[in-house]
Copies of this chain bind each other. A is one copy, B any other.
Amino acid sequence: MKIVLGENAYGKNAVNLTKITRHADYHELKQVSVNISLQGDFGPAHTTGDNTKILPTDTMKNTVYVLAKENFTSSIEDFGIFLANHFKKNNPQVSQVKIEITEHLWSRIIAEGIAHKHSYISGGNEKHTATILLFNDDITVTSGIKDLLILKTTDSAFKDYIKDEYTTLKETNDRILSTQCQANWIYYSSQLNFTTLYNEIRETILLTFANHKSLSVQHTLYAMGEKVLQEINSVKEISFIMPNKHHVLFNLEQFGMENNNEVFIATDEPYGYITGTVTRE
């Protein structure tokens, strides 16, 4: 059997870009990290070291900064689409462009009750993400939320599961449910008001999480996805990654006290890892 090159891709990751737009009444701040990845006719680069079809990743980086000046004026989705089209149009050897953008969130500092004109505080770990996949002439826009750390102190049960010889977990009607949620949803179109949609979807996820009577992480995952699809027609499907950040009841009984769901050990590892997609058919 012959040895051949299989699937391959290359690009630049972590192009960290901050853009300020100086509006009359305030300064707008965007901070993003961009990944570019190309697939295409790169066989000779691998097999013989022929770089004549290789756009250097350093050039990709420069391109992001240059194009940001005129073209990063609204959402990360729109900027990603612009970048994808640019790389595709200028590189006939490329069959697929993938642009991933992660936006770090900032809020204007509230000083004496009003949003300051040009001073910001970080929005925390939570990030807004977008992935643009341009394959031949097909474009797919996926948006997401990453590191959305949420917790509910009640309305979460876990019982009636399988018991076997290695089961020690006790059933519970009332536990802490916490997850560092990642959600990704695919839009039907690449011509949408992505910022408005993002805010609506985020709000729907939070509201559903808050109000759900959870019987398991899977149960809440599905409820959140179902609600997004019910409310937002532009979304084709949505996927969640929901690690279970376990909070274990501390055993106060051994010291003659009761633990009425008050005192918990917050643990990092091991952790449940629950993933699922809700879609339309």
Tell me whether B273 and A37 are in contact (CB under 8 A): yes
Set B14, B167, B244: member contacting A271, Cβ < 8 A: B14
Report, as a range, how many residues of chain A touch the other chain: 35 or more
Which of B18, B151, B166 interacts with A29 by CB under 8 Å?
Answer: B151
Within the assembled complex, what's the spacing in Å between the Cα atoms of A48 and B254?
33
Instruction: From A77-85, A134-142, A208-216, give the one contacting chain B.
Output: A208-216
**Which 7 A-B pairs give the minimum distances between C-beta atoms?**
A124-B124, A49-B215, A6-B277, A119-B210, A8-B276, A122-B149, A46-B222
Chain B residue at minimum C-beta to C-beta distance from A211: B111
Cα–Cα, bound, A6→B278 (Å): 5
Contacts of A206 in B (CB 8 A): 109, 111, 119, 121
The proximity string for A residues 29-52 relative to B, scoring 1 for CB distances below 8 Å and 0 otherwise, is 101000101000010011111111
Given contacts A118-B154, A122-B126, A281-B2, contact A20 B268 (CB under 8 A): no
**How far is it, in angstroms, between the C-alpha of A91 and the C-alpha of B148 when the chains are bound?**
33
A8 adjacent to B210 (CB under 8 Å): no
Q: Does B266 contact A167, Cβ atoms closer than 8 Å?
A: no
CB distance from A250 to the nearest CB of B (A): 4
| Interface 0/1 of A241-265, CB less than 8 Å to B | 0011001001010110101011111
**Given A66-B255, A121-B148, are A52 and B161 also a contact pair (CB < 8 Å)?**
yes
Are B261 and A66 touching (Cβ within 8 A)? no
Give A202 Cβ to nearest chain B Cβ, in Å: 10
B residues within 8 A CB of A146?
none
Distance (Å) between the CB of A248 and the closest chain B CB? 10
Task: Report copies per complex.
Answer: 4
Q: Once the chains bind, are A10 and B275 in contact (CB under 8 Å)?
A: yes
Check if B13 sits within 8 Å of A270, measured CB to CB: yes
CB pair A153–B27 under 8 Å, yes or no, is yes
User: A52 is contacted by which of B54, B160, B254 (Cβ under 8 Å)?
Assistant: B160
Q: Is the CB of B222 within 8 A of A10?
A: no
CA gap between A269 and B48 in the complex, in Å: 28
Tell me which of B6, B52, B217 contacts A237 (CB under 8 A). Answer: B6
Cβ-defined contact, B46 with A264, below 8 A: no
| Contact of A7 (CB < 8 Å), options: B15, B42, B48, B277 | B277
Interchain CB contact under 8 A, B45 and A263: no
Other 17 A-B pairs with CB < 8 A, given A13-B243, A66-B257, A106-B151: A1-B280, A7-B239, A10-B273, A12-B270, A16-B268, A18-B264, A53-B162, A57-B244, A58-B168, A58-B169, A59-B168, A111-B206, A118-B152, A120-B150, A121-B150, A123-B124, A166-B255
